[in-house]
């Protein structure tokens, strides 16, 4: 009987130590290797062109952002974070082989998605958000759309200015008849 009690006492101590080691390994994985303080957003842009009047169309833009992580992150305008949809008109007379960058074209509208919801945007774990905007565009226009989310990471860049991490998505839409 005494031998059985000693055996179970030893087994309990071994299991307790194993549980502590496993919990420590899990904490290291989550907080150090897994980057639990890091943020990420998967951004997609979907569009639809609807008739409006005369030679104008409604360009309906859905900017969907998903937090794929198991941690919450927040964009806060007081920290100079931003979430902007850039709408640009691409030149209609470019020559073959011309490459347009994401930030090229005549600005039609820069829409501050963060400001539209009051300056703070909290992304819960695995949450998906949809921000919809409608822009009136003339028929025959080719539009470049770029949604950019920037978060101040609390450090300074080489010039001594606040440094930002960012995620973005882009697409091009031709508004036809």
- Residue 105: the pLDDT is 93
Please say whether the beta carbons of 153 and 165 come within 8 A.
yes
CATH code for residues 42-175: 2.60.40.1470
Give dist(CA 102, CA 169) in Å, integer: 9
What residue segments make up the domains of the chain, in order of their start?
1-36, 42-175
Residues in the chain: 177
- Residue 177: the pLDDT is 81
- Residue 73: the pLDDT is 87
- Residue 37: the pLDDT is 59
- Residue 163: the pLDDT is 83
Give dist(CA 54, CA 76) in Å, integer: 40
For the chain of 177 residues, list the mean pLDDT of each consecutive stretch of 10. 80 88 77 66 96 96 92 87 95 91 92 88 91 96 96 85 89 92
Backbone angles phi, psi at 5, to 5 degrees: -65, -45
- Residue 175: the pLDDT is 94
Residue 99 CB contacts under 8 Å (≥ 6 apart), including other chains? none
The closest of 171, 169, 173 to 50, measured between CA atoms, is: 173
């Amino acid at each position: 009987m005494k031998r059985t009690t000693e055996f179970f006492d030893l087994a309990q101590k071994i299991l307790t130590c194993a549980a502590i080691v496993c919990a420590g390994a899990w904490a290291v994985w989550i907080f150090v290797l897994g980057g639990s303080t890091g943020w990420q957003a998967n951004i997609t842009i979907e569009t639809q062109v609807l008739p409006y009047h005369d030679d104008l169309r409604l360009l309906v833009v859905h900017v969907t952002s998903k937090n794929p992580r198991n941690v919450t992150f927040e964009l806060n305008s007081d920290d100079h974070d931003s979430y902007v949809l850039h709408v640009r008109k691409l030149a209609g007379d470019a020559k073959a082989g011309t490459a347009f960058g994401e930030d090229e074209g005549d600005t039609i509208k820069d829409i501050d998605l963060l400001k539209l919801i009051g300056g703070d945007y909290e992304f819960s774990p695995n949450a998906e958000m949809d921000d919809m905007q409608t822009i009136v565009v003339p028929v025959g226009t080719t539009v470049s759309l770029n949604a950019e989310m920037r978060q101040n990471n609390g450090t300074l860049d080489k010039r001594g200015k606040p440094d930002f991490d960012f995620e973005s998505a882009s697409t091009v839409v031709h508004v036809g008849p």
